[in-house]
Amino acid sequence: MSETLAAKIIREHLVEGEMAALPAPGQEIGLRIDQTLTQDATGTMTYLQFEAMDLPRVRTELSVSYIDHNMLQADFRNADDHRYLQTVAARYGIHFSRPGNGICHQVHLERFGVPGKTLLGADSHTPTSGGLGMLAMGAGGLDVAVAMAGHPFYITMPKVVQVRLVGELAPWASAKDVILELLRRLSVKGGVGRIFEYGGPGIAGLTVPQRATITNMGAELGATASLFPSDEQTRRFLSAQQRESDWQPLAADLDAVYDEVVEIDLAQLEPLVALPHMPDRVVPVHEAAGTLVDQVCIGSCTNSSVVDLETVAAILKGKVIAPSVSLVVSPGSRQALEMIAESGALADLVAAGARILDAGCGPCIGMGQAPASGAASLRSFNRNFQGRSGTADAGIYLASAEVCAASALTGRLTDPRELGDEPTIQMPERFAVDDRMIIPPVNGEDVEIVRGPNIAPLPTRDVLASTLEGAVLLRTGDNITTDDIMPAGAAILPLRSNVPALSRFVFGTIDTTFPERALAAGGGWVIGGENYGQGSSREHAALVPMYLGVKAVIAKSFARIHHANLANVGIVPLTFRDPADWDRIQQGDVLRIADLPGALHSDDDVMVENVTGGWSFPAVASLSPREVEVLLAGGMLNYIKINA
């Protein structure tokens, strides 16, 4: 039977055993997870949840805890979290990537990714490793904790979309432009419920670092995963990383049938830019050329490889950035930083006026380098949500590292084709391999886990009552992000281990009165628009509203990870049967579901009564029978304890 590459990996990891045919799209599947990753903004909560399962050791083939997000140590809180993460890793058999070793996705690609394996990460950009031929997926931290405990990861069987690439990239066009073109065509919700599988003759010329840029930003499409075949380019990359033994050839069958097909002619691509404040507001750079640029940021998990940094250095070599521009560079890994130091590219960057930051996420998640008031910041990052940079009125633009470098020189958004010939930078034949900043697992039975005073007890929810009733606390529009629900940034990220303290900031970009009103009302309901909860996988966007008493969210549609996170913490996620009902509901209306267990177990719509308005409307519970039981138990941890 002819199969896609995604289907082959899924079949190999199905926990239900051998099946005559894979489930159809829309049916729930359970997958065995080979590897997991966490980072320090989500990891503390993930490991608190893992500890609650009372197991002696992780049960995956490989689990890695990375320190890359909360790198600023303005006080004790981030440092305390890092100490907790290092000791909990030692206790439970987890690799620990120390601060400064690099961004989780870049380091995992370099040192741990294996073609054909499954990877689950508590970060939405985990699909980066799909550039190596892994089925890599982002999830909430609780799902990752459950996978580390040896349980399956459940998702709705996605559709598989072939992105057929033909031709070769023209000078100054880049892999970033491939994914920006997809975002331009499909939008930030165009990948929901889909795996994007890249194929066609055009992939042969794309290196693994280029492929990883594309798969990384599949998260911006809302995709479950993105992956390339494991071919000669994959072998070359793993060989250069001194890991050729991890390579195996993997590809879709030649006559594989896809649910959808999108074709991109690489030769027709030109430099593109995403305008504020969404990654899908994409136009050719030349259409926005001339826009004054105050800040340029190069790096993040999207464009921070050795090749990216060497290319930027070659563009800037012998020149100085415009007087109006602040340029910062975040290497993706210690490996990349060491290699540009050895080649002289680092000196070229510094001589041109660049400031070199930690090998970490930094400005991409608002952890430092906030732009000036009303400034325009051009970034080679993956997200440009309003306020994410730390400056609410800044305009954030996304483009390739090449566009960023050209614009840093001129002080305005610049099509790099104006610079003349493009520098030619090849992927190294051999990377500098030094894993001394990764602490391998030990026999940790006697390791003491160290908890700082900012690490608060894990909040939980009781078994759900049979009647669900409460007031509408908030109505939102479309494309609400997890940054909107639970903001990040230098002031808030250090609180990720302390849900009570973090709760003061819920919906801070939309309504600063929400936390106080939610507590006063004893909780209630949230009404959302299309693609509610897009963006980061951060489960805090579900966990903290649960702590404030949010009982249900009714939206026009949900982003995949956030929908799962809501159910995992005991918040009922429902969608409107008729989106027009969204307009009829007012903030303050009291809503009620009279028999919640019966409604969720029924094949019929869930009838929601608007007690205030005296009318009822149908909603859809897109939940599997297992998810219904998780929800009614009050969340995943309760469910696991009940079924232990």
Kindly state the average pLDDT of the residues 372-384.
Answer: 95
Whole-number pLDDT of residue 443: 87
SS3 string, 500-551, reads: HHHHHHCCCCCCCCHHHHHHHHCCEEEEECCCECECCCCCHHHHHHHHCCEE
Between strands 194-199 and 282-284, the pairing is unpaired
What is the overall mean pLDDT for the chain?
94
Q: What percent of the chain has pLDDT over 90?
A: 87
Instruction: Tell me the C-alpha distance between 355 and 357, whole Å.
Output: 6
Please provide the DSSP assignment of 119-159 as one string: EEESSTTGGGGGGGT-EEEE--HHHHHHHHTTPPEEEEPPE
Kindly state the average pLDDT of the residues 318-322.
Answer: 98
Say if residue 96's pLDDT is above 90: yes
pLDDT in tens, 466-506: 999 999 999 999 999 999 999 888 888 888 889 999 999 99
For residue 616, give the DSSP letter.
E
Please provide the DSSP assignment of 277-318 as one string: T-TT-EEEHHHHTT-B-SEEEE-TTTS-SHHHHHHHHHHHTT
Instruction: Tell me the C-alpha distance between 493 and 508, whole Å.
Output: 14
Q: What percent of the chain has pLDDT over 70?
A: 99
The answer for residues whose C-beta is within 8 angstroms of residue 534's C-beta and 6 or more apart is 188, 189, 222, 479, 480, 481, 482, 559, 562
Residue type, 339: M
Say if residue 222's pLDDT is above 50: yes
Strand partners, 524: 471, 550
Say if residue 531's pLDDT is above 80: yes
Say if residue 412's pLDDT is above 50: yes
- Cα-Cα-Cα-Cα dihedral sign, residues 498, 503, 505, 507: positive
Kindly state the average pLDDT of the residues 499-527.
Answer: 94
Say if residue 599's pLDDT is above 70: yes
462: exposed, middle or buried (Cβ count in 10 Å: 0-12, 13-18, 19+)? exposed
Whole-number pLDDT of residue 16: 65
Q: 10 Å Cβ neighbour count for 191? A: 25
Q: Which domains, ranges and CATH numbers included, belong to the chain?
A: 5-268 (3.30.499.10), 272-419 (3.30.499.10), 468-642 (3.20.19.10)
pTM over 0.85: yes
More confident: 19 or 562: 562
For residue 189, give the DSSP letter.
T
* Number of alpha helices (DSSP H) and beta strands (DSSP E) in the chain: 22, 26
Strand partners, 265: 166
Please, are residues 194 and 91 in contact by the beta-carbon 8 Å criterion? Answer: no
Please, are residues 149 and 55 in contact by the beta-carbon 8 Å criterion? Answer: yes
Q: What is the CA radius of gyration of the chain?
A: 24
Kindly state the average pLDDT of the residues 449-466.
Answer: 90
Say if residue 635's pLDDT is above 70: yes
pLDDT in tens, 153-198: 999 999 999 999 999 999 999 999 999 999 999 999 999 999 999 9
Instruction: Tell me the C-alpha distance between 351 and 360, whole Å.
Output: 22
Whole-number pLDDT of residue 17: 41
Kindly state the average pLDDT of the residues 528-556.
Answer: 94
Say if residue 608's pLDDT is above 70: yes
pLDDT in tens, 190-211: 999 999 999 999 999 999 999 9
Half-sphere exposure of 138 (CA within 13 A, CB side): 34
Identify the helix (H) or strand (E) that includes residue 568: helix 560-568
Whole-number pLDDT of residue 74: 82
The answer for residues whose C-beta is within 8 angstroms of residue 84's C-beta and 6 or more apart is 44, 47, 449, 450, 451, 452, 455, 497
